[in-house]
Amino acid sequence: MARTLVLAAAQLGPIQKAEGRDVAVGRMVRLMEKAHRRGAEVVVFPELALTTFFPRWYEEEPERADRWFETALPSAATAPLFEAARRYGIGFHLGYAELAHEPDAAGRMRKRRFNTAVYVHPSGEIVLKYRKVHLPGHAEYDPRRGVQHLEKRYFEVGDLGFPVVRAPLGGTEANIGLMICNDRRWPEAWRVLGLQQVELVMLGYNTPSLNMENRGFEAHHLRVFHSHLSVQAGCYQNACFAAAVAKAGTEDGHELFGHSIIVNPQGEIMAQATSWEDELIVAECDLSMCDLGRRTIFDFARHRRPEAYGRITAQVGSEAPPAWRPRPAG
Ligand code: CDV
């Protein structure tokens, strides 16, 4: 039986450093209205959607970056998103910088900062929260880089794992999972969601068009190829849909490549953004498509061999293999 969901990916064009949350939120509400007119039931916004991609800016005192963080959701600034959800009967996914006051693993109450995403039900209730696990970049100012990428300075590694929840989604129910930007490049993240029978992965990203590591060469077009390759492989190998949604265009002189996509469980792109502006792409997703892969080639219960995967959790970095040499002649 078909379980149809009309899914919208709301790519955002650039948000400049000088622009306030009101500018971003106003644009997002307009995209929600447009999504409603096009029959969408869920809208997915990008990573850190409320502000410019601030980890490119170095602050000697990391606390000075707190102005980019949200201490509550909804807040006065983000309330219009929640109101629009109720008005249009649309659920939405939002990526934002989260500043929480809560105990750490040692039980010490302190300020904690995460790169976070939530899925919000049309009622305004938060259904699922995820904190980014794979933080790219570096913690200290790097003079070799043209542009900084300070996620490791401003955020802690997410402490919620990769949760999946079954919840109402449009006119049906679905198993929903979240990941954020760099996570999409890690098959482990997809598989942990796949092991919980995820049917829809919502993920936002901010990916620069150039590899800022400044070492070696990476052709421009390969940046987009690698992003799509990761999402398409993740969907195919875990029999799920995904909305991978970008912040795009030039923020204060720094280009983000866009190319947001909606992908089906066959790994096919169903819709793709073509601009580097605010742009809505919509696809009708039959969630029952997830069953085929799950019952056949990726029936995990029948075919997975965890006894052979020990290194995946036992080891972090790679290790050199033993060397083989031909026997000396004679
Ligand atoms: N925001 C990100 O996580 N960006 C990374 C970049 C730095 C490579 C990404 O994986 O797209």
CA distances from 155 to 49, 100, 147, 166 (A): 16, 11, 18, 28
Task: Evaluate whether residue 76 is within a structural domain.
Answer: yes
Q: Give the Å distance between the CA of 161 and the centre of ligand 1.
A: 19
In this prediction, residue 261 has a pLDDT band, given cuts at 50, 70 and 90, of: very high
Closest Cα to atom 11, ligand 1: which residue?
207
Checking if the pLDDT of 192 tops 90, the result is yes
Question: Residue 136, SS3?
Answer: coil
Task: Evaluate whether residue 330 is within a structural domain.
Answer: no
Checking if the pLDDT of 89 tops 80, the result is yes
Q: What does the pLDDT read at residue 215? A: 64
Q: Is 224 touching ligand 1 by the criterion CB < 6 Å? A: no
For residue 322, the 8-state DSSP code is: P
Q: Is 211 touching ligand 1 by the criterion CB < 6 Å? A: no
Cα distance from N-terminal residue to C-terminal residue, the chain: 69
What value does the mean pLDDT take over residues 48-69? Answer: 97
Task: From 330, 272, 241, 275, select the one nearest 5 (Cα to Cα).
Answer: 241
> Structural domain tally of the chain?
1
Q: Is 209 touching ligand 1 by the criterion CB < 6 Å? A: no
In this prediction, residue 205 has a pLDDT band, given cuts at 50, 70 and 90, of: very high
Each residue of 105-136: pLDDT tens digit? Answer: 999 999 999 999 999 999 999 999 999 999 99
Would you say 172 and 5 are in contact if contact means Cβ atoms under 8 Å apart?
Answer: yes
Give me the helix-helix angle, 187-194 and 220-238, nearest 10°: 20
Looking at the CA of residue 227, tell me the nearest atom of ligand 1: 11
Mean of per-residue pLDDT scores for the chain: 96
Q: Is 179 touching ligand 1 by the criterion CB < 6 Å? A: no
Task: Evaluate whether residue 321 is within a structural domain.
Answer: no
Closest Cα to atom 1, ligand 1: which residue?
206
Q: Is 148 touching ligand 1 by the criterion CB < 6 Å? A: no
Quote the CA–CA distance of 142 and 46 in Å, as a whole number. Answer: 26
- Determine the residue of 178, 207, 245, 254 to mutate for testing ligand 1's pocket, defined as the one with the most ligand atoms within 8 A of the Cβ atom: 207
Q: What does the pLDDT read at residue 174? A: 97
Q: Is 207 touching ligand 1 by the criterion CB < 6 Å? A: yes
Would you say 56 and 148 are in contact if contact means Cβ atoms under 8 Å apart?
Answer: yes
Each residue of 158-172: pLDDT tens digit? Answer: 999 999 999 999 999
Would you say 16 and 250 are in contact if contact means Cβ atoms under 8 Å apart?
Answer: no
CA distances from 305 to 189, 234, 299 (A): 18, 18, 12
Q: What does the pLDDT read at residue 210? A: 85
Checking if the pLDDT of 220 tops 90, the result is no
- Determine the residue of 96, 115, 149 to mutate for testing ligand 1's pocket, defined as the one with the most ligand atoms within 8 A of the Cβ atom: 149
Q: Model's pTM, two decimal places?
A: 0.97
Share of the chain above pLDDT 90, in %: 94
Each residue of 244-256: pLDDT tens digit? Answer: 999 999 999 999 9
Task: From 8, 46, 75, 41, select the one nearest 251 (Cα to Cα).
Answer: 46
Task: Evaluate whether residue 162 is within a structural domain.
Answer: yes
Checking if the pLDDT of 193 tops 90, the result is yes
Q: What does the pLDDT read at residue 214? A: 59
Checking if the pLDDT of 264 tops 80, the result is yes
Task: Evaluate whether residue 206 is within a structural domain.
Answer: yes
Task: From 124, 120, 210, 197, select the one nearest 162 (Cα to Cα).
Answer: 197
Tell me the catalytic residues: 47, 132, 181
> Which CATH number goes with the domain that contains 182?
3.60.110.10
Q: What does the pLDDT read at residue 228? A: 98
Quote the CA–CA distance of 27 and 12 in Å, as a whole number. Answer: 8
Task: Evaluate whether residue 328 is within a structural domain.
Answer: no
Q: What does the pLDDT read at residue 219? A: 82
How many Cβ atoms are within 10 Å of 316's Cβ, its own excluded? 6
Task: Evaluate whether residue 73 is within a structural domain.
Answer: yes
Residue 27 CA neighbour count, 13 Å, CB half: 21
Checking if the pLDDT of 216 tops 70, the result is no
Looking at the CA of residue 47, tell me the nearest atom of ligand 1: 1
Radius of gyration of the chain (CA): 20
Using DSSP bridges, classify how beta strands 42-44 and 109-120 pair: parallel, antiparallel or unpaired: unpaired
Please give the residue range of the domain that contains residue 70: 4-314
Contacts of 153 (CB under 8 A, 6+ apart): 55, 58, 62, 137, 138, 139, 140
What value does the mean pLDDT take over residues 251-263? Answer: 96
What value does the mean pLDDT take over residues 45-61? Answer: 97
Checking if the pLDDT of 1 tops 80, the result is no
Quote the CA–CA distance of 292 and 35 in Å, as a whole number. Answer: 29
Each residue of 224-242: pLDDT tens digit? Answer: 999 999 999 999 999 999 9
